[in-house]
Structure 1
Amino acid sequence: MEVFFIKYRKMLLFGSVFMLLYFFYEMYKGIESINSSNKGEGIGTLADACIALFVSVYFFINVRKAKRAFKEENAAAETNSDTNQKYDR
């Protein structure tokens, strides 16, 4: 799964920002619906906003984790190759 997050990280980060903007839009729309005494629609809209926020945070966190794991993997590989070169001499 990390390969997916690394390969498509720019697209996922863009999607994460878009979902965050969508969250604010849905929050505004939900609050307006509740204020206009349409509580059923307003609560549903706020639920949509919470889902958008969750998806945004989920993608952002997993992209960061995958990037960090990839960097650690590369650092470990470089350390192993440096160690192997010392012993080859």
Structure 2
Amino acid sequence: MPADHAIAELRVSRLVLYEDQTFPGYCLVVLRDHATELFHLTPAVRTALLEDVCWAAEALERAFRPAKINYAVLGNQSPHIHWHLIPRRSD
């Protein structure tokens, strides 16, 4: 992920602006340390990661006032733990 798209350093992750802004505010929360599966993380890191995701979602909510935020965790194309946060509008 290009460093110039980084928005914030969080507890165990980095908040990154997604290149395709078809959905304004679309971001990724990318785990800083490499891991491919949530169950590979310690409970403390798993908890901190979810807190990072929630922090980022709240920031998106305040900034964009979306009708809903969609969350996606896949890892098919990039085998590294990261969450897609996609603010959605009702229109």
The two structures have a TM-score, normalised by structure 1, of 0.36
The two structures have a TM-score, normalised by structure 2, of 0.35
Q: Which structure has the higher relative contact order (CA within 8 Å, separation 6+)?
A: 1
Higher fraction of strand: 2
The structure whose Rg is larger is 1
Higher fraction of helix: 1
